[in-house]
Amino acid sequence: MKKTPLALLLTLGLLNIPLSAFAVTAPLDLVGPVSDYKIYVTEKLDELARHTQQFTDAVKKGDLATAQKLYAPTRVYYESIEPIAELFSDLDASIDSRVDDHEQGVKAEDFTGFHRIEYSLFAENSTKGLDALADRLNKDVQDLQTRVAGLTFPPEKVVGGAAALLEEVATTKISGEEDRYSHTDLYDFQGNIDGAKKIVDLFRPHIEQQDKAFVAKVDKNFATVDKILAKYRTADGGFETYDKVKDNDRKALVGPVNTLAEDLSMMRGKLGLN
C-alpha cells in the first residue's frame, strides 16, 4: 500500500520516530560483514580444534594437572562462536550439554563433551575412563568444522548472534552454573562477550550511520563489563575461579549485561533483517 507523503509524515509524527531511523542498510552492504564473520568463526574453530587436541591428549595421557589447566582456555573458542555452533543441535548437545539436560544426570550414557569431562577432572579429580569421551570430543569438534565450512551463514542468525551471546551470559554465566565443577565460568563469560563484540564491530559502520547513540551506549556497557572481568584476570592471562567473584561485582554485571542483551536484540531490526 502506497502512502501519501502527508500520511507518512503524520505517521512519523504520531510515532515520534525520526526519519533517519528509516535509513535502512542496503542488503548488499551486509555481504562484507557476514562473510568476515564466517572467516572469524572459521579461525576460531581452527583454534578450537587445535586446543581440543592438546586438551584431550593430556586427558588420555592421564596428565590431570595439564588437563585441568587446558579445560577453560580450550572451551573459550566454542563460547565465542556459539551462535553458529549451536545451530547444529546434535553436536551442541554432544559437545556442550550440561548435566541438567540429561535425565540420568552424570551417569547418562549420552552425557558427553566438555562438561562430562569437566566433571571427572574437577569433581572426581581423575582422568580415569575418559579415553572414549576424549576421542568423541575431538571427533565432534572436527565434525563441527566440516559442517560450518559447508554452511551458508543465515544473515539474521549472524546479526542476532550478538544478542544470543548476551542472553547466554545473562542466563548461564552470572549464575555460575555453566562450569559448576571447575568454576572457570569467567573464561566462557569473556568468550561470549568477545564473540558479541566482534559482531557489533563488523556491523558498526552500518549501525552508526543510522544511530550513533545506540552504538555509544553499547560500547559503554561492553566497557563496564570488561572492566569488571579484568579485575579477575590472573598473571597467566587466565581468570580467577567464579567463586572468587564478589557479590557486588556479580550484581554490577547484571545491569549492563541485561541492557546489552536488550539493546543488541534490536540490531536485526536496525539492519533490516526482521
Partner 1 sequence: MSNTETPQAAPPRALRWAVAGSVMLMIAAGGLFWYASKMAAAKRQHNHDEIVVNIHPHSCEPNALTVPAGRASFRIVNRSERAVEWEILDGVLVVEERENIAPGLSQVINANLQPGNYAITCGLLSNPRGTLHVTPTAASDAAAKAKPSMVAFVGPLSEFRVYLAVEGSALIKAVTALNHAIAEGDLSQAQSLYLPARAAYQRLAPAAQRLAELDNHINARADYFEKREQDPAFVGFHRIELALFAQHTLDDLAPISQRLLADVSTLKQQLLVQSLPPEQLVSIVVRNLNSLADVRAASGEEERYSHSDLNGFAANAQTAHKVVDLLRPMLSKTAAGILPTIDQALGDFDSQLNALKADGGYVGYDTVNAEQRQQIGEKARALAKALDGIDPALGLSGL
Residues that bind partner 1 (CB under 8 A): 26-28, 30-32, 34-35, 38-39, 42, 86-93, 97, 100-104, 108, 110, 152-155, 167-168, 171-172, 272-273
For the bound state, the minimum distance from the C-beta of residue 47 to partner 1, rounded and expressed in Å, comes to: 17
**Cβ distance to partner 1 smaller for residue 20 or 175:** 175
Query: Facing residues of 239 across strands?
Result: 233
Q: What is the 3-state secondary structure (H, E, C) of 3-17?
A: CCHHHHHHHHHHHCC
Pick left, alpha or beta for residue 89 (phi over 0 → left; psi -120 to 50 → alpha; otherwise beta).
alpha
> How many CB atoms are closer than 10 A to CB 104?
10
Least distance from partner 1 to the Cβ atom of residue 28, Å: 6
Q: Smallest gap, in angstroms, from Cβ of residue 70 to partner 1?
A: 26
Is the CB of 32 or the CB of 62 nearer to partner 1?
A: 32
Nearest distance, CB of residue 100 and partner 1, angstroms: 5
User: Could you give the CA distance from residue 164 to residue 162 in angstroms, rounded to a whole number?
Assistant: 5
- Burial (0-12, 13-18, 19+ Cβ within 10 Å), 234: exposed
Q: How far is the CB of 257 from partner 1 (least distance, A)?
A: 14
Lookup result for grid cell 533517519: 20
Q: Between 25 and 127, whose beta carbon lies closer to partner 1?
A: 25
Query: Among residues 155 and 191, whose Cβ is nearest to partner 1?
Result: 155
**One-letter amino acid of 91:** L
Q: Which CB atom, from 88 or from 181, has the smaller least distance to partner 1?
A: 88
Distance from C-alpha of 10 to C-alpha of 14, rounded to nearest angstrom: 6
Q: In the bound complex, what is the minimum distance in angstroms from residue 87's beta carbon to partner 1? A: 5
Q: Which is nearer to partner 1, 92 or 240 (CB)?
A: 92
Residues 153 and 262 sit within 8 Å (Cβ to Cβ): no
